[in-house]
Amino acid sequence: VKKAEARLLQEQNSKAYVSLAGAELFRDQMRDLVLGDAVAADRVATLQTPGGTGAIRQVFESMKILNPDCTIWISDPSWPSHMSMATHMGFKTRGYPYFDNETRLVDTDAMMASFQELKAGDLLLLHGCCHNPTGANIDMDTWKAITDLVIEKGVMPFIDIAYQGFGDGLDQDAAPVRHMASRVPEMFIAASCSKNFGLYRDRVGIAMMIAKDADTAEVVQGNLAVLNRLNYSFAPDHGAAVVGMILADAELRAEWMAELEDMRMTMLTIRQNLADALRQQCNSDHFDFVAHHRGMFSRLGLNAEQVLSLRDDHGMYVVGDSRINIAGLAGNRHLPFAIAVAKVATVS
C-alpha cells in the first residue's frame, strides 16, 4: 500500500472528479478479485462506495426501488449495522438462526428450515466468509443448497464479503460468492477493502449487482450511478486508486498477496495456540472450535455472568456476547487469556 501511495503521489496529475460510479480501474479489478470468471463481466454493474458500509447502504437503496415491501433476512447474530441500517431505512426484517451455542458452529439444520419461509422478492443477506461476530462459516455443500433454494423461491441473494483473504485464502474465501454468481439470474454483493488492504480510514468499498443479461446490467449501472449522486455524489478516490494500482500491477499485487497471506497465517496460528492453551487449561476439548473458526472474530459461548467475571476478576475485556478479536491475542497474550477463561468457564 505504501509503495502504491508513493507511486500515486508521483503519477497522479489531477484531483478532478472521477465518474459518479467511481474509478473504473478499481471497479474492474475488484469485480475480478471477488468474482473471478464465474460470471460474464458485462452482466455485472459496479459502484465504488465509501467502505463496505456504503456498499450495503446502496444495495438497500436499490431494494427500495426494486421491492420496497420486501423482507430483509439477516443472520442472528450478525454485524449489528446490518440490522440497524435495514430497520432505519424502514424495511421489514427477519433474523434467521445461524449459530449453535452448544457446538459453536453454524446451526445448518435450523437455518435451512427457516429458509423454507422465504418469499419471492425477499432479500437474503449472507456473510461470504469469516462470519462476524461468530467466526463460524457455512460449508460449501450448504452454500450449494442455499443457491438452489433462492433460485427455487425467487429470492434476491445479497452476499457481504468484508474479509476476503482472511479465512482460507483469496480464492477459497470467494468460492461461495462465485458459485452462487454462476447459478443465479440476479444477486447483490458488497465488498470492503478496509481489512484486506488495511485502508480503514480511506473508506474503500464496492457494491455489485449481477443482472440477468448485459442489457439489464447497463440499465442497472446507470441507476447505481444515480444513487451515488443522490447520496454523496462521489466516493473518496485516494484509497480506491491505491487498490486499483495494486491489483493491476503484477509486482505490487504479488507483494500484497504475500502480506495478506502472512496476516492470514498469523491469525490461524493465534487460533490454534489459543485452542491448545484452552484445552490444556480446561482439560477439555470444549473450546477446540476456536481453531476451526475463521476471520478476526470468534464467539466463545460464555454467558453474561462469565463475561463479567472475566472483566471484574481477571481484567480481561470481551464483548458482552463473548465475542473476541483474535488479532488482539498475538504474541503470548493468548495464554493469560486462556487461564482466565478456564477459571470462569464450566466445561466438561
Closest CA to 38 of 176, 160, 150: 176
Beta strands 205-210 and 187-192, pairing class: antiparallel
For residues 200 and 306, state if they share a domain: no
For residues 263 and 116, state if they share a domain: no
Rama region for 317: left / alpha / beta (φ>0; ψ in -120 to 50; rest): beta
Residue 348's pLDDT is 46
Cα of 143 vs its chain's centroid, Å: 15
CA distances from 78 to 75, 258, 320 (A): 5, 30, 14
Domain boundary among 216, 248, 280: 248
Q: Does residue 79 carry a catalytic annotation? A: yes
Domain boundary among 225, 248, 271: 248
For residues 225 and 242, state if they share a domain: yes
Residue 347's pLDDT is 61
CA distance 105 to 137: 8
Catalytic one of 160, 173, 202, 237: 160
Q: Does residue 160 carry a catalytic annotation? A: yes
Q: Does residue 195 carry a catalytic annotation? A: yes
CA distance 71 to 332: 45
Domain boundary among 248, 268, 294: 248
For residues 270 and 332, state if they share a domain: yes
Cα of 282 vs its chain's centroid, Å: 32
For residues 229 and 313, state if they share a domain: no
pTM: 0.93
Q: What is the number of domains present in the chain?
A: 2
Contact by Cβ (8 Å): 111, 143: no
Q: Does residue 277 carry a catalytic annotation? A: no
- Give the residue ranges of the chain where pLDDT is below 50: 348
Integer-rounded Cα Rg, in Å, for the chain is: 21
Can you give the length of the chain in residues? 348
For residues 259 and 236, state if they share a domain: no
For residues 70 and 33, state if they share a domain: yes
Closest CA to 196 of 241, 165, 237: 165
Which helix H or strand E contains 147, and what residues bound it?
helix 140-153
Contact by Cβ (8 Å): 105, 131: no
Catalytic one of 73, 79, 143, 256: 79
For residues 94 and 212, state if they share a domain: yes
Q: What is the CATH number of the domain that holds 270?
A: 3.90.1150.10
Give the tens place of pLDDT for each residue, 126-175: 999 999 999 999 999 999 999 999 999 999 999 999 999 999 999 999 99
Could you give the residue ranges of the DSSP H alpha helices within 283-333?
289-292, 304-314
Phi/psi of residue 191, each to 5°? -130, 150
For residues 197 and 63, state if they share a domain: yes
Q: In terms of residue numbers, what domain contains 279?
A: 253-344
Q: What is the CATH number of the domain that holds 46?
A: 3.40.640.10
Closest CA to 338 of 263, 283, 269, 268: 283
Catalytic one of 4, 136, 162, 240: 162
For residues 232 and 321, state if they share a domain: no
Catalytic one of 143, 195, 237, 241: 195
For residues 262 and 175, state if they share a domain: no
For residues 211 and 267, state if they share a domain: no
